[in-house]
Amino acid sequence: MEVATPVKGTVTQRAIGQIKEMIAAGTLEPGQRLPTERNLAERLGISRSSMREAVRALTVLGVLEARHGSGVYVTQLEVGDLLETFGLVAEVSPRERLVELLEVRRILESAATAQAAARITEDQLAAVAGHLAVMNEATEAEEFIAADMAFHRTIARSAGNKSLAAIIDQLSSPTFRTRVRRGHQDAAALAQAREDHRRIYHALKARDPEAARTAAAAHVRVVEEWLRAQLD
C-alpha cells in the first residue's frame, strides 16, 4: 500500500490527512477494509494510539466505519452521510449564523429549482403537486412545514445532482425551527408561504428555469428577512 505524503499538524492530524489522501487516490476504496491498526500505524510511521485517534475521528465524520468483530472499513462515502456533521453544526449555530445559512440556502436552492425546471419528470412534478396540496389544506404549522420540507426535498432531487440535493437537505434542517416559530407568531406567514410555493410549482410545471429560480429565491428571502428583523 502506498503511503501518502505527510501533512503538517499533530501526529493524529497527519494520520487523518494521510488516510484521506489514500482514499482520494483510490488506494483505499469505498467498502474496503483497512489494514490492521498495527499494520497501518507501521506503514505511516506513527504510534498505534495516534492511529487509533485518527480512525476514531474519521469514523465520527462518516469516512470510516468500525464493524464489531470485523475491522474498520471505508464507508460508501455518500455525500448525505458525510454532511451529517455539518447539519449538526448548523443546528447549534447562533441565530446570527443561521441568517448566513439561510443566505447560502437561498443561493443554492434557487439554482437547484431552476435546474429542476429543466429536468423534472412528470412523476416528480406530481409529487411536488401532492406536497403543495397538503400545504394548502394544513391547519397546523407543523403539518404545513413537514409538507414544505418534502416539497423542497423533491425539487432538489429533481435537479439531478445528488451532491447538491444533500447539501440543501442539510441546510433545511436549521431553518426548521425558525419556520415553526414564524408560523406560530405570524398567521399571515402561512398564507404567504402557500403563495410562494404555488409560484414555484407553476414555474416548474411551465418548465421555466428563470421563473423557478426567481420564485425559489423570493421564498427563502422572506424567511431570511424575517429572521434579520428579529435580530435587529
Q: Where are the domains of the chain?
A: 11-77, 82-231
- Tell me if 11-77 shares its fold with 82-231: no
Task: Please state, in angstroms and rounded to a whole number, the distance separating the CA atoms of residues 66 and 75.
Answer: 9
- The fold adopted by the segment(s) 82-231 is Four Helix Bundle (Hemerythrin (Met), subunit A) (1.20.120)
pLDDT band at residue 16 using 50, 70 and 90 as cut-offs: very high
Please give the pLDDT value at position 97: 81
Examine the pLDDT at 230 and tell me if it is beyond 70: yes
Please give the pLDDT value at position 92: 72
Q: Which residue has the higher pLDDT, 97 or 210?
A: 210
User: Are 76 and 31 spatial neighbours (Cβ–Cβ below 8 Å)?
Assistant: yes
Which residue in 196, 195, 202 sits closest to 220, CA to CA?
Answer: 196
Give the tens place of pLDDT for each residue, 150-198.
999 999 999 999 999 988 988 877 566 666 567 666 777 888 889 999 9
Please give the pLDDT value at position 3: 43
Q: Which three cell numbers stand for residue 147?
A: 409538507
pTM (predicted TM-score): 0.74
Looking up cell 444533500 gives 166
User: Are 119 and 159 spatial neighbours (Cβ–Cβ below 8 Å)?
Assistant: yes
Q: What is the CATH number of domain 11-77?
A: 1.10.10.10
Please give the pLDDT value at position 6: 40
Task: Please state, in angstroms and rounded to a whole number, the distance separating the CA atoms of residues 74 and 167.
Answer: 21
Give the tens place of pLDDT for each residue, 61-107.
889 998 988 899 999 888 777 777 776 766 777 777 888 888 999 99
Task: Please state, in angstroms and rounded to a whole number, the distance separating the CA atoms of residues 176 and 187.
Answer: 17
Examine the pLDDT at 125 and tell me if it is beyond 80: yes
Please give the pLDDT value at position 214: 98
Give the tens place of pLDDT for each residue, 133-158.
999 998 887 888 889 989 999 999 99
